[in-house]
Amino acid sequence: MKFTDGFWLTKPGIKLFNCAQVQDARWDGDAFAVYCSFEPVLNRGMTLTGPMLTLRFTAPREGILSVKITNYEGVSRKEPRFTLHTDGGKVKVQEEDDRITLSSGSLSAVVTKEKFSLRFFENGRELTGFGGRHIGCAKTPDGWYIRAKLDVDVGETLYGLGERFTPFVKNGQSVDIWNEDGGTSSDLAYKNIPFYLTNKGYGVFVNSTDRVSFELCSEAVESAQVSLPGHSLELMLIGGGNMKAVVDRYTALTGRPALPPAWSFGLWLTTSFTTDYNEETINEFVDGMAKRDIPLRVFHFDCFWMKPYEWCNFAWDRASFPDPEGMIRRLKARGLKTCVWINPYIGQKSPLFTEGRGKGYFLKRENGDVWQWDMWQAGMAIVDFTNPEVCTWYQEKLKTLLDMGVDSFKTDFGERIPTDCVYSDGSDPVGMHNYYTHLYNKTVFELLERERGKDEACVFARSATAGGQQYPVHWGGDCSSTYVSMAESLRAGLSLCMSGFAFWSHDISGFEDTATEDVYVRWAQFGLLSSHSRLHGSSSYRVPWLFGDHAVKAVRDFSKLKCRLMPYLYTASVHAHQTGTPVMRAMAMEFFGDPACEALDRQYMLGGSLLVAPVFREDGTVDYYLPEGTWTHLLSGETKEGGAWKKETYDLSSLPLFVQENAILPLGQSEEQVDYDYLDGLELHLYRPKEGVPAKIEMTDSKGKRTLTVTMTKQNGKITLTVNGKHRGIAVILHGDKEIRAALAPDQNEITLA
């Protein structure tokens, strides 16, 4: 929200109160409180009127400082709260004549008293801070707001705030944290996360489920302003020194991403959204994929597996599927997992509407009526997940499907949640708008964990808020079938992965309309070089043979490549589960400090060693940047020197896909499936080892039962590979000026290559 009219004036009807002077500072329970007046107090009479702001400092975890800014403390509002994983630490305080230093690990905040300011430092390096006129409250015609303006340095770039389809670098943008179903071609977003990070190596998290408003070098070009309606705002400054370390601390606080099952990394094929289909159609699709030698792992049934007007009744439409139990058994016999589409809405025609209304399981209006509208299903109601009894009821309906053999759920929707409703637990409906999706996905994910086991739980979710990374996988929503929409999907995915989410997918070839063959091919390459891969659309089928021979070849070749890459991808996924570092990484994150990478949003790193630059033009021309070093094209073996931009043309069989120097790239034995023993029949590809710079990779099999640690060193020109852990023999291929092949016998743990 904008409060000012240029540098000197405020907007009509708005009065700003800014912290000017510290009047007192003391411990208040577990927090250290700093009391600020809005003008210098020159005499006792000046203490008799006017507001005072309280800043309460805590240390939720080491390396994180929280400041809760409060105006009126007597205001009561039952806003839902994010579940935070604190470590029991306490902020350290050192008071001097005119300053107070508060610290947590290497992070510190310095408050000056006489002329108020608040500056943040890490290891003595200044990160950001609030100067004069930068922290306070605002009285507006619509009520009170808290506002805080963090300084943005010269050359500082801001990222994150969820899955945003607007420009990747957020400087100059106004962003409201408010989940909406707006497609991929606007500034609305399905996944709004009140967290951003910067190329100075720190992050900012606003601990509120409400409509947080960010003005990022927009209202005031020198600062990132955060504002929130009401009388309180908690802002957390997260240190780290680089983006990976910041995301590590942020996900330790808000929740680590769960590790998806290995099968979920395979190719998902859906019926599409509004198409006609039955078991015969599905068998034609599955047979067609097998006939064309395309590995398929998951079949997804979109909405019309249920009767029209009855979404959701969680019951198969027996007219189209007379034997769903048998159908699922037959699909499983062919090695496929199954997924069905659901949402948190109950249409009035559904038998569950009468049941849920009678038990009071839906959101209500102020007069006690069920909150209903026709935006999606006629007379639909919305499930109230704030009631634990309702969560159990909802899970029981889904368990019936699990008992049939269904493996996963696509948890669609969850954004169009009203604010003029009543929740059973009394939660504030405005605060619940964004948080609703968290309870929805949590309810479904926890059922899968309980019934299928933690190693098997996986959803395909569209909406999310902070902490939603704990319930993967999320996909990018309804995009169009064009290169432009493909590019906006990628930059949104990279923004989400800068916001604590480790796993992300999208609709290969686009959701709306139908792609041309070249768009389908290029999107298939991109999609199968993403953490998760799904063929899905709206009103037409997405099987590749409907698009042409090049489409079939692309899906086949890159599906097989992904199968072989699984030892590498699963290693990156385990690391993501442990640290929050995403599988798909923005170049700015992986090459922190390289200014040429800071705005790149048309290429990314898949794990730490593979650079992917999707092609976004019909003529196959692509511009991409290679950081310093020697890079080897994974498919052709061609090498290129980095530290420069490249402009090249690729035919429909390839794209820029490069391996970084000094990388260990493990490839598996299978081209037909993604879940197999990654350590059996392993190939280790070594790319241009660097003198005196060891490389290391820790791998696990698809069940997490066996581990293998591989270290590569080059000293005085001698290249040594060391393996710790049991193995059944490993092929070793050294890629350099010449290719060298060797092998480790099962009883051998070290080999010298040159």
Catalytic residue of the set 122, 478, 512, 598: 478
d(CA 16, CA 19): 10
- Please report, for residues 271, 285, 321, 337, 408, the alpha-carbon distance to residue 281 in angstroms, rounded to integers and kept in the order given: 9, 6, 11, 17, 21
- Residue owning tokens 């000094």: 662
Chain Cα centroid distance, residue 224:
22
- Please report, for residues 67, 235, 316, 555, 622, the alpha-carbon distance to residue 107 in angstroms, rounded to integers and kept in the order given: 13, 15, 55, 48, 42
Q: Assess contact for 651 and 237: CB atoms under 8 A.
A: no
Q: Assess contact for 335 and 673: CB atoms under 8 A.
A: yes
Instruction: Find the DSSP H helices in 505-625.
Output: 517-527, 549-579, 587-590
- Which pair of tokens denotes residue 309? 């007007």
- Residue owning tokens 């999208």: 506
Q: What is the DSSP letter of 303?
A: G
- Which pair of tokens denotes residue 250? 């942020």
Q: Assess contact for 208 and 234: CB atoms under 8 A.
A: yes
Q: Assess contact for 472 and 258: CB atoms under 8 A.
A: yes
456 is catalytic: no
Catalytic residue of the set 122, 415, 512, 601: 415
Dihedral in degrees, nearest 10, Cα atoms 486, 491, 492, 494: 130
Q: Is the dihedral of CA 391, 397, 398, 402 positive or negative?
A: positive
Catalytic residue of the set 412, 512, 557, 598: 412
478 is catalytic: yes
Question: Checking phi first, is residue 131 left (phi over 0); if not, alpha (psi -120 to 50) or beta?
Answer: beta
DSSP 377-413: STTBEEB-TTSHHHHHHHHHHHHHHHHHT--EEEE--
List all residues 6 or more positions away from 73 whose beta carbon is below 8 Å from its beta carbon: 54, 231, 232
Instruction: Catalogue the active-site residues.
Output: 412, 415, 478
